[in-house]
Amino acid sequence: MKVLIVEDDADMRRLLKIVMAGLDVDMEEAPDGESAIHSIETSQEPDLVLLDLHLPHISGEEVFDAIRKHSKSAIVIVTADILAAPEFVSKADGVFTKPFKTNELIVKLTSLLSTHRNEAKEE
Amino acid sequence: MFMTQHTPYSVARFDGAIMFNSIRAGLMKTGITKSPIVFFKVRAGAQLHPVWALDNLAMEIYAYCETAKAADVSETHLQVAVTASWVSGENFSNLFATFVEWHIASSELRKRARLISAELINRKGHDWPADELNIPVATVR
């Protein structure tokens, strides 16, 4: 299983990598929207994308739309932008505002990845 | 060369019977959203394992339990093989089911449960309990 972490803050990327590492997945990092979209378009489709909304050059909203257009990946928003976050409640597979509780994130990511894994088994 | 070592989270696999009368269903806060969650117990010999499940799997387990209740089958009718992940904090440890293999004998019950499960997942015709349920570890700050 593959997870794409789209986050411009290196410390937050490191924290998310530590959380994800325990879930036994391959990880790819994208520090901005452009590299995230490039990755989605050119490499193996991720099962899950962790997406920050405030990114340099291309906004997280645009990256969100591009991911939805090109893949069936689950998308979890992890953002400090509390005002923008509610807009994604009905669109994303999960929305976490910083600071978040690590265990809540682990539980949600475990659930989403197992759903993807079980669906892949059935296909 | 610098190498970072990661330890995968622990996984548990066990067989047993879901004590369908023990199931509790509700919503757990996950970030700013809420996710369907169930808490149930699996009888394995002399032991009783408390287990949680989230999202679609929660709805599937709930559907099987509600169907078993309505069918008035024996307490140990819902035989399962469970794969689960541990989610722990300093003072609590929780098993989160990630996959349930159903070993029940009644094909009629299975058929009915699958139908209810699909309806719950597609938000058709069945209401999900709105009670707030949280794993103990999530409340520790």
Nearby residues of A98 by Cβ (< 8 Å), 6 or more positions away: A12, A78, A79, A80
Q: What is the ipTM of this complex?
A: 0.85
Cβ pair A111:B54 closer than 8 A: yes
Assess A118–B contact: CB distance below 8 Å, yes or no.
Answer: yes
Burial of B49 (0-12, 13-18, 19+ CB in 10 A): middle
What is the token pair recorded at A1?
A: 């299983």
pLDDT at residue A6 is higher than 50: yes
The 10s digit of each residue's pLDDT in B92-106 is: 889 999 999 999 878
Cβ pair B87:A101 closer than 8 A: no
pLDDT at residue B141 is higher than 90: no
Which of A16, A50, A103 is most worth mutating to test chain B (most B CB atoms within 10 A of its CB)?
A103
Assess A103–B contact: CB distance below 8 Å, yes or no.
Answer: yes
pTM comes to: 0.89
pLDDT-based confidence at residue B4 (cuts at 50, 70, 90): low
Assess A106–B contact: CB distance below 8 Å, yes or no.
Answer: yes
Cβ pair B35:A21 closer than 8 A: no
* Domains in chain B, CATH or no CATH each: 11-122 (2.40.50.140)
Assess B8–A contact: CB distance below 8 Å, yes or no.
Answer: yes
Which of A18, A75, A110, A115 is most worth mutating to test chain B (most B CB atoms within 10 A of its CB)?
A110
Cβ pair A106:B7 closer than 8 A: no
pLDDT at residue B140 is higher than 50: no
The 10s digit of each residue's pLDDT in A20-65 is: 888 889 999 999 999 999 999 898 999 999 999 999 989 999 999 9
- Rounded to an integer, the average pLDDT of B58-77 is 95
Tell me the three-class secondary structure of A34-92, residue by residue. Answer: HHHHHHHHHCCCCCEEEECCCCCCCCHHHHHHHHHHHCCCEEEEEECCCCCHHHHCCCC
**Pair A92, A76: CB distance under 8 Å:** yes
Assess B31–A contact: CB distance below 8 Å, yes or no.
Answer: yes
pLDDT of residue A53: 94
- Rounded to an integer, the average pLDDT of B8-36 is 94
In chain B, what residues touch A114 (CB-CB under 8 Å)?
A: 57, 85, 98-99
Assess A122–B contact: CB distance below 8 Å, yes or no.
Answer: no
Question: Looking at per-residue confidence, does A123 or B17 come out higher?
Answer: B17
Which of A107, A109, A117, A118 is most worth mutating to test chain B (most B CB atoms within 10 A of its CB)?
A107
* Amino acid letter for position B129: P
The 10s digit of each residue's pLDDT in A68-81 is: 998 899 999 999 98
The share of chain B scoring above pLDDT 90, in percent, equals 75
- Rounded to an integer, the average pLDDT of B119-141 is 80
pLDDT-based confidence at residue B27 (cuts at 50, 70, 90): very high
Q: How many CB pairs under 8 A join A and B?
A: 81
pLDDT of residue B18: 97
pLDDT of residue B112: 95
* Amino acid letter for position A32: D
